[in-house]
């Protein structure tokens, strides 16, 4: 008789535990997702800088090469320098990292990542 009373008193406790822990799981998932997005943005930025450096070395349009390589993200800056008087060429690219947020909330911050590719300038024949 004692076990029946205890089972009926614990009826629905799993639901309450789930409701209590669900916000923690949601926040942990958002943090993990944000880390993945930030990591992908950093890798994409580095690749865009390399593509821009290749375009500059080949005499092609640097802006088009960088925009194509950084397509999923919004460009935050592009600086091109070098290949003058024997100096190495340098392309610096910056992109904005998007935030994963819960609907109806706003962090109001803009996080950017940047990467630089340096290369040796070769004379064009």
- In this prediction, residues 93-102 reach a mean pLDDT of 82
Q: How confident is the model at residue 104 (pLDDT cuts 50, 70, 90)?
A: low
Tokens of 32: 């993990």
Q: What is the pLDDT of residues 11-49, one digit of tens each?
A: 678 888 888 889 899 889 888 988 898 899 999 999 999
Where is pLDDT greater, at 77 or 122? 77
Tokens of 83: 């290949």
Break the chain into its structural domains and give their ranges: 2-119
Class of the CATH-defined domain 2-119: alpha beta
Q: Which of 67, 66, 57, 78 minimizes the C-alpha distance to 124?
A: 57
- In this prediction, residues 49-78 reach a mean pLDDT of 88
Q: d(Cα 115, Cα 74) in Å, to the nearest integer?
A: 14
Instruction: Judge if pTM exceeds 0.85.
Output: no
The residue written with tokens 């100096």 in the block is: 87
Q: d(Cα 121, Cα 51) in Å, to the nearest integer?
A: 15
Q: Which of 9, 101, 115, 121 minimizes the C-alpha distance to 57?
A: 121
């Amino acid at each position: 008789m004692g076990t029946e009373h205890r089972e009926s008193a614990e009826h629905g406790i799993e639901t309450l535990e789930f409701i209590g822990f669900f916000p923690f799981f949601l926040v942990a998932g958002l943090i993990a997702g944000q880390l993945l997005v930030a990591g992908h943005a950093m890798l994409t930025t580095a690749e865009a800088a390399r593509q821009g450096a290749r375009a500059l070395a080949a005499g092609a349009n640097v802006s088009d090469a960088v925009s194509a390589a950084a397509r999923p993200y919004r460009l935050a800056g592009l600086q091109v320098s070098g290949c003058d008087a024997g100096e190495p060429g340098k392309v610096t690219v910056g992109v904005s990292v998007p935030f994963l947020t819960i609907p109806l909330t706003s962090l109001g911050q803009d996080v950017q990542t940047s990467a630089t590719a340096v290369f040796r300038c070769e004379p064009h024949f």
